[in-house]
Amino acid sequence: MAYTLVILSALLATSLANSIQFKDCGSAGAKVQSVDVGGCTTEPCHLVHGKNATMVVNFTASEDVTHPKNSLYGIIAGVPVKFPSNADCCTGKNLVCPIKSGTSSQYSIAIYVSPEYPKISVLVKLAVLDDNDKDFLCIVFPATITDS
Ligand SMILES: *[C@@H]1O[C@H](CO)[C@@H](O)[C@H](O)[C@H]1NC(C)=O
Ligand SMILES: *[C@@H]1O[C@H](CO)[C@@H](O)[C@H](O)[C@H]1NC(C)=O
């Protein structure tokens, strides 16, 4: 019984801290450790119509940033399309600003998947820009927009 519980909680812990496979697209000021997309365990991750997709990026900074800015694109058939999102990274995104070099942080962003978006495959490009508008952090992962 106790043994089963240990296994169950180990499984649960694994599923809670699941990182998807992602590509770094030129993070100049951070080392990205993990990216969690709302419990997604198999790529492409599903972005479900009418729901919020929450992305959590764990990273360690190697640069100080006073005003980090969010930059989010969906790359559809090779064409980058800007995703409407609040540019400010210092409120509601779990970040402590300013970002200090050498510290580890968790960046959390939720996007609303409008039912009007077409059901297509998309490469999500999630970046945080530094004070010079350069990619402080940049990751890309494949997703698909679906009804479920
Ligand atoms: C991200 O960091 C948090 C806090 O340190 C940790 O609880 C979580 O498991 C990490 N996520 C992943 C996917 O490793
Ligand atoms: C999505 O997130 C926004 C902002 O946090 C919230 O107002 C809204 O109710 C959420 N929508 C869903 C479907 O969870």
Ligand 1 pocket, CB under 6 A: 17-19, 34, 36, 58, 106
DSSP 8-state assignment for residue 99: B
Model confidence at 6, pLDDT cuts 50, 70, 90, reads low
Residue 143 phi, psi dihedral angles, 5° rounding: -145, 170
d(CA 38, CA 16): 9
CA 106-111-112 angle, to 5 degrees, is: 155
DSSP, collapsed to helix, strand or coil, labels residue 14 as helix
Q: Could you tell me which residue, 116 or 12, shows the higher pLDDT? A: 116
d(CA 83, CA 75): 10
d(CA 66, CA 100): 9
The bound ligand whose nearest atom lies closest to the alpha carbon of 93 is 2
CA of 28 to the centre of ligand 2 (A): 31
pLDDT at 86: 83
- The pLDDT tens digits of the residues spanning 28-51 come to 999 999 999 998 988 899 999 999
- The pLDDT tens digits of the residues spanning 89-134 come to 998 888 999 999 999 999 999 999 999 999 999 999 999 999 999 9
Residue 6 phi, psi dihedral angles, 5° rounding: -60, -45
Residue 60 CB less than 6 A away from ligand 2: no
Helices (H) and strands (E) in the chain, counts: 1, 9
DSSP 8-state assignment for residue 32: E
CATH fold for the domain made of 19-146: Immunoglobulin-like (2.60.40)
Would you say residue 8 has pLDDT above 80? no
Phi-psi region of 16 (alpha: psi -120 to 50; beta: other; left: phi over 0): alpha
In this prediction the pTM is 0.86
pLDDT at 114: 94
- The pLDDT tens digits of the residues spanning 58-71 come to 999 999 999 999 99
pLDDT at 137: 97
CA of 142 to the centre of ligand 1 (A): 21
